[in-house]
Structure 1
């Protein structure tokens, strides 16, 4: 790979894994960077319009490109994830797409102790 090349897909390992209808466990996968369309089009989905919490399901179904040996990753697969795995994928999505606030270690000038401080993203 060329130095400075944009990495658009990131491998992941689910903490628990998805169990399909045949009982096969799928843990390894790949997530790609989100596009503007990935963030906009799900807002028109009737499932999201009637239940906004469903947005993450539709969004992850669009950006998870591989999960184990499954032929496709769709909303039904994402719905079947264990809560810990869903949280893991949400965190990965936020990190690879630059949506996670930056944490910095700072030293208090008064007490001398080190604290972690969250610096919000621009516009956030």
Structure 2
């Protein structure tokens, strides 16, 4: 048995880049401890703890359409529904059973859970 470490996704609305190109598909990898620890050293997180989520997502979203590099600016520019979608996906792949993803249509909302990311 092998461990799945990358998970394809389709955003409900999609990221629109500075050229007006829509990007909906991407890949999120499993997070490692460093992905959650490093943002705590960032000054933006010291000002606003919620910003840690933006940094973590920019580290674990490895592909988003043809965007060459996913950055915090990319994540900040997502529509709220897409940001929430990626937060839910992060919780599922890192803290739950990712096999539930197989039953969902691309871009469909995830089942609500009680797992919280710290």
* TM-score normalized by the length of structure 1: 0.77
Bigger-Rg structure (1/2) = 1
Residue-by-residue CA offset, 1:18-76 (whole Å, 9 max, x unaligned):
00000000000000000000010101111011111111100000000000000000000
| Runs of 4+ residues deviating >6 angstroms | 118-121
More strand by share: 1
Aligned residues: 101
Partner of 1:97: 94
Asked whether 1:46 is paired with 2:43, we answer yes
Which aligned pairs between 1:1-124 and structure 2 lie closer than 5 A? 4-98=1-95
Q: Which runs of 5+ in 2 are unaligned?
A: 98-112
How has the CA–CA distance of structure 1 residues 70 and 120 changed in structure 2, closer, same or farther, with 3 Å as cutoff?
Answer: closer
* Alpha-carbon shift at residue 119 of structure 1 (Å): 8.1
Is the 8 Å Cα contact of residues 95 and 115 (structure 2) preserved in structure 1? no
